[in-house]
Amino acid sequence: MDFRISRRGFLASGTALAVTGLPGVTFAQDLPPLEERLPENPLVVTPHERPGQQGGTWNMALVGGGSLSMLFRYQAYDPLLRWNPEWTAAEPNVAESYEVNEDSTVYTFTLRRGHKWSDGEPYTTEDVRFWYEDVFQDPDAGLTGEEHWYANGELAALEIVDDVTFRVVFPSPNGIFATKMAESNVDKLVRTPAHYLKQFHIKYNENANELAAERGFDSWIALFQREHGLQEDNVHFQNSSRPTLNPWMFTSAPGEDTERAIAVRNPYYFKVDTEGTQLPYFDEIVYQMVSDPEVLLLKTLQGEIDVENVYVNTPANKPVLFDGQESGNYRFYTLSETAANVMVFQLNLNHTNETKNALFNNRDFREAMSIAVDRQALIDAVFVGQGAPAQPSIRPGDPLYNERLATQHTEYDPDRANEILDGILPETDSDGFRVMENGERLTMIFEIDQVRTTFLDMFQLAIPMFQQIGIDAQIRTMDRSLWEERVRNGREFDATAHQFGANGGIAAMLDPRYFVPFNNNSIYAPGWALYFTNPDNEAAIEPPEEIKAQQQLYKDLLATGDSDRQMEIMAQILENAADQFLVFGVSLPPDGYGVVKNDIVNMPAEMPNSFVWPTPMPIGTEQLFKE
């Protein structure tokens, strides 16, 4: 298979490239002419509405200390292969083309000759080689994960053909590698400038330890990890010195200024519009750093934010935002929701407390908690009646829809819940709360990221429901960065809630987090998920046989490039997930909305809403401009 995007003979046609200045942006040196800054074959973008002009500021905001991953949604999604706007396929982006052999064991990528980093240095297969050999495979570099680079537990080999061509060769079929590369923050091959990072690596700089000491680090390893920042987005985006391939580059990165961050146009960006104007159109993006969603809501109402589709676009805020359209000079656009649920209750099935771990792993206990939730009350109060009770599942109408998975244990039946729990934890204390086998009260603390306001609203109703069946349920809110540390990367929490995952199609196959524990998004079973990716890791926990069988099915899905076989395997995974009932939810999400200022051009009226398809960047935020 050969995947290419036609450039309509762009350069061969003699179409003039607009040698446009960069108003408001100052560089340390004069830039070469535009034709010397672009690759030989730039990617030609057809604007959604019409071609624009360079200039202006895109006003945005970031909420809280842990929200920097949102930058993939706005300025940092330019992988080798990129989702198309319809989210039906991955297509060449930084890569000019790619080919896959018949059994999905050899992927051949061709880069754009003459492509440059934002500092003007060439982007070539040396950057690819450096990442593979000196970051990915160097234990001191600190990179973990990257499970899509493995097939049957064996690592793919990298073959460098020439400056612009390389092959990824798997020992056995890996049919989903190309689509995995298109996920929002997966492709590290475009985020590792070798010419910049080599100065911090002991292999290339024998004085790397001295350099680290000068900058206040214990060793070259700590400095290198800080400089490449690939393991954690919050670190990766806090470095304005590292060159990028993205449309904008930070001059003042988040963390370097507590009040705002500024990213300016990358003068070597590899895309042009149909009239030959280099993208992006906006001179700069200015991010205000705000403390919480309420501040962001106020700024949106006041017209200070040009595009917003995270944190403030809740059902409760919609009437307020609707009434403020004229004064704030903005309009709505539709977000087609792709998440598996509006909120997923997740008990820690790998708890360090043995008593709680055994209890949480009891399916009947999880069923009791599920039917103790009056989902319709949550839907009416938080989502203004939009939605219907459902577990984390596939949406009706999708070929993968499984009715049992979607509807089981969604009835509100506290009497039945109490009956089930009476058979598991019959003893209660003087306050009426159930007592565990070790004699302690069953206290369950749900640890929640505080910026998820709809979660907090739902828990105000859900906590008394759990208490009604004798569980001393509590909620603990925290900053996103602390939540990431304690919950996503820890094992000592009782329970949490999150969303995302996917409710259909290829997205569900790429992110089946609630149906099979396979990566750190499967927060309910961090040890089992680690076993899937690295069973030899000391923190990995060998799961029960039925979970291991589920993980093997997912490995089988990842291995095949046959779409029919992928659907068949995924259907079995969903059927098994209904049997196992690992997590429970509230409702499949109704379509949402975003807010965009009226003077923004080329913003579609509707798009998917997901982090895997990092809304809205796959529509081409580089083509947005102001009238």
Answer yes or no: is pLDDT of 27 > 50. Answer: no
We find that the CATH architecture of domain 344-585 is: Roll (3.10)
For residues 407-430, give the mean pLDDT: 98
Answer yes or no: is pLDDT of 7 > 80. Answer: no
315: confidence class by pLDDT, cuts 50, 70, 90:
confident
Hey, is 58 helix, strand or coil?
Answer: strand
For residues 243-256, give the mean pLDDT: 92
- Return left, alpha or beta for 454; rule: phi > 0 is left, psi -120 to 50 is alpha, else beta: alpha
pLDDT of residue 230: 76
- Return left, alpha or beta for 410; rule: phi > 0 is left, psi -120 to 50 is alpha, else beta: alpha
The model's pTM: 0.80
Please give the structure tokens belonging to residue 358.
């055994």
For residues 316-325, give the mean pLDDT: 95
Provide the percentage of residues in the chain whose pLDDT is more than 70.
Answer: 94
- Superfamily grouping for domain 2-192+230-287+607-626: Dipeptide-binding Protein; Domain 1 (3.90.76.10)
Relative to beta strand 271-273, strand 592-597 is unpaired
User: At residue 525, what is the residue type?
Assistant: A
pLDDT of residue 460: 97
Degrees, nearest 5: CA angle 552-553-559: 90
User: At residue 571, what is the residue type?
Assistant: A
User: Which of these, 52, 49, 48, 69, lies nearest to 18 by C-alpha position?
Assistant: 52
> For residues 602 and 622, what is the distance between their CA atoms, to the nearest angstrom?
10
pLDDT of residue 147: 83
> For residues 125 and 616, what is the distance between their CA atoms, to the nearest angstrom?
29
Hey, is 210 helix, strand or coil?
Answer: helix
Answer yes or no: is pLDDT of 504 > 50. Answer: yes
> For residues 251 and 269, what is the distance between their CA atoms, to the nearest angstrom?
16
pLDDT of residue 109: 98
Question: Contact 151/561 with Cβ under 8 angstroms?
Answer: no
Same fold: 2-192+230-287+607-626 with 344-585: no
Answer yes or no: is pLDDT of 554 > 90. Answer: yes
Relative to beta strand 344-347, strand 443-449 is unpaired
> For residues 284 and 303, what is the distance between their CA atoms, to the nearest angstrom?
18
Answer yes or no: is pLDDT of 280 > 60. Answer: yes
For residues 247-273, give the mean pLDDT: 92
Hey, is 337 helix, strand or coil?
Answer: strand
Provide the percentage of residues in the chain whose pLDDT is more than 90.
Answer: 78
* Average pLDDT in the chain: 92
Q: How does pLDDT run across 432-473, given as a tens digit for each residue?
A: 999 999 999 999 999 999 888 899 999 999 999 999 999 999
Domain boundaries, the chain: 2-192+230-287+607-626, 344-585
The set of residues, in sequence order, having a beta carbon less than 8 Å from that of 564 and lying 6+ positions away, is none
Question: Contact 240/195 with Cβ under 8 angstroms?
Answer: no
> For residues 479 and 458, what is the distance between their CA atoms, to the nearest angstrom?
18
pLDDT of residue 8: 36
**How far is C-alpha 542 from the chain's CA centre?**
26
Question: Contact 567/400 with Cβ under 8 angstroms?
Answer: yes
Lowest-pLDDT range of 7-11, 28-32, 68-72, 433-437: 7-11
> For residues 414 and 523, what is the distance between their CA atoms, to the nearest angstrom?
27
Angle between helices 414-424 and 363-371 (to 10 degrees): 150
Give the number of other CB atoms < 10 A from CB of residue 73.
Answer: 22
Answer yes or no: is pLDDT of 496 > 60. Answer: yes
318: confidence class by pLDDT, cuts 50, 70, 90:
very high
Q: Tell me the CB-side half-sphere exposure of residue 475, using CA atoms within 13 A.
A: 19
> For residues 388 and 198, what is the distance between their CA atoms, to the nearest angstrom?
54
For residues 91-108, give the mean pLDDT: 96
Relative to beta strand 43-45, strand 271-273 is parallel
The set of residues, in sequence order, having a beta carbon less than 8 Å from that of 119 and lying 6+ positions away, is 196, 243, 268
Helix (H) or strand (E) holding 436: none
Degrees, nearest 5: CA angle 481-485-491: 150
490: confidence class by pLDDT, cuts 50, 70, 90:
confident
> For residues 62 and 70, what is the distance between their CA atoms, to the nearest angstrom?
8
Q: Give me the helices (H) in 386-504, please.
A: 403-407, 414-424, 453-468, 480-483
For residues 487-508, give the mean pLDDT: 91
pLDDT of residue 98: 97
11: confidence class by pLDDT, cuts 50, 70, 90:
very low
